[in-house]
Structure 1
Amino acid sequence: MEDGGLIAAAVVIILMGPFWPVGFSLMIAGRVSQYLPKRNPTAARSVPFKVRLRDLRATMTIEDIETQERVIDPLAAVPDLPFGHLNPGWERFKAGLSPGTRVCSFSRTYGKHYVERYDGYAEVSPKALIGWFVTRVRPTSN
């Protein structure tokens, strides 16, 4: 071996010495992670999200909801409207409300492998749930 090749090999060995545990750890983590459950909420769900009657919390007026859900952002990055950036969806939900129905808040924990808590408002007729508007989705511990 030439002197230049010998020096290069020595430099590589000296530089790799302190870092080989990191490479080894990353290799092991990659192998182990393929056996862990995937944290993908859409792939893990075979049943679509649905609000149930037992998820309903309280009947509320539109005015109370809009007062409670008004976003106050001192930096004005969020519109000064009920639900902030979600306001167009809220307006569509309100426009679709049928006469004689009521709006109730709901909260539901949903998922099998990747569990999340859904909060929002549901349109309820005397006979059934008609539709819902999800305002928050938060991960929870199993």
Structure 2
Amino acid sequence: MKWIVAYLGIGILVLLGFLIDARLREPRRKQDGWNEMRALLLKGRQSWASRVVDSYLIPGLTALLVLAFWPAALVLALYMNRDQRKGSAQAEGELPAQFIVTREHLREALSPERIEMQEMVVDPLDAAPKVPFGFLNGGWQRLRREAQEGDQFWSFDAPWGRYGTATSRRVGYALVRDGKVVTWFVGSIVPLDNGYL
């Protein structure tokens, strides 16, 4: 009986550690594309049952699983955070933990007008707006607003994947200031069939 109490007590401490860690990371975490898209699609249409599942059932079941299997949850958390523990020390050729565009990814300097002409969306069904990049036009406009006098727009093509293996190419446009990539806009993601470049 003492072992069960000790096991569950350690499980509660691990669960509290996860909750504190999640709360500390939350202000720095940007909303990812999936959650943003889901929120837009479900805006005003999410049923009460779905809200109960998202707000109470899933977190509750997760907490119970962490209490019951805290050693596995701890190992999994350490494994998933290994990229952050490595810091900037990466093996040669290994992909970074977060997507970044470097000078090596840049392909061609282009004017904003030429980019908009190349990326004009013409949808025969009129489902997408007739603007550069279609539904992604807002991101392109944000990139244009960040441009200062003397900045250049470059096209880029960068590999991306998880666990050091490229599974896709991200293609888009970068803003270059004084020879350094300041920010970028991903226009498309091209999956790689075999997972390698």
TM-score by length of 2: 0.48
% identical aligned pairs: 37
SS in 1 for 2:189: strand
Structure 2 letter corresponding to 1:121? Y
Structure 1 residue ranges without an equivalent (≥5): 1-42
From the superposition, tell whether residues 51 and 82 of structure 1 become closer, same or farther in structure 2 (CA, over 3 Å). Answer: same
From the superposition, tell whether residues 96 and 108 of structure 1 become closer, same or farther in structure 2 (CA, over 3 Å). Answer: same
SS in 2 for 1:66: helix
Q: Is the 8 A contact 1:44 1:113 kept in 2?
A: no
TM-score by length of 1: 0.65
From the superposition, tell whether residues 75 and 67 of structure 1 become closer, same or farther in structure 2 (CA, over 3 Å). Answer: same
Bigger Rg, structure 1 or 2: 1
- Note the 1:1-142 alignment, pairs <5 A: 46=83, 47-111=97-161, 112-113=164-165, 115-140=167-192, 141=194, 142=196
CA–CA distance in structure 2, aligned partners of residues 52 and 77 of structure 1: 34
Q: Is the 8 A contact 1:119 1:136 kept in 2?
A: yes
1:51-76 CA distance string (max 9 Å, x none): 01010000000000000000000110
SS in 2 for 1:59: strand
- Decide which structure has greater helix share: 2
Structure 2 letter corresponding to 1:89? G
Q: How many residues align?
A: 100
Structure 1 stretches of at least 4 aligned residues deviating more than 6 Å after TM superposition = none
Structure 2 letter corresponding to 1:117? R
1:62-120 CA distance string (max 9 Å, x none): 00000000000011000000000001111111111121110000001122246110000
CA–CA distance in structure 1, aligned partners of residues 108 and 179 of structure 2: 17
Structure 2 letter corresponding to 1:58? E
Q: Is the 8 A contact 2:154 2:173 kept in 1?
A: yes
Structure 2 residue ranges without an equivalent (≥5): 1-79, 84-96
Cα RMSD after superposing both structures:
1.9
